[in-house]
Amino acid sequence: MQYQDNQFKWVVVVNRKAPLGRVLNAVGHLALGMRMAPQEEASAQFHAYKGPDGQPMAQLSHWPVVVLQAKSSSQLLALRTAAIAAGVSCQSFVEAMIGPSAEHQLEATRTTPLDQQEFIAVMLFGKSEDQLRPLTKKFSLFASPVESPLVESRGPVEAVG
């Protein structure tokens, strides 16, 4: 099925080497953050989906969301740099954004040089062909490895009780 409304897109490119749980966390934060960031007017097009009971089910974007994968953190840094240079709306999630408190995360993100940051995901919004295609054409569609853990290992789990 070819989706018809694809003049604009939300694209998230994730680091395929990052644990899946961390990637999902990063994508969630980026999606919320991108919704709050200044965007082209088109980004505000959301639809209220209701269930058969009339209750809200979701607020979904009019535009498609595409998830791609990068081979490394350095590819994500290069994508971020190119997107900013091209004036494309962009946000990034890095390892420094994970820590014991928001204050700690903010400080670690601000003080760690970009080339030393471990990028987990970068999210973009823009015109599909004109803006995004040149930036994202080298990335492939996201495919979760069969053996990728959903959460990072924290050691053996002990039975309680």
pTM to 2 decimals?
A: 0.85
State yes or no: pLDDT of 156 exceeds 80. no
DSSP 95: G
Per DSSP (E only), the strands in the chain are 8-15, 46-50, 56-61, 65-70, 89-94, 119-127, 140-141
The SS3 assignment for 131 reads: helix
Write the Ramachandran bin of 127: left for phi over 0, alpha for psi from -120 to 50, otherwise beta: beta
DSSP 132: I
Whose tokens are 């994730």? That residue is 14
State yes or no: pLDDT of 158 exceeds 60. no
What are the structural domains of the chain? 8-43+61-141 (3.40.1490.10)
pLDDT interval class at 92 (50, 70, 90): very high
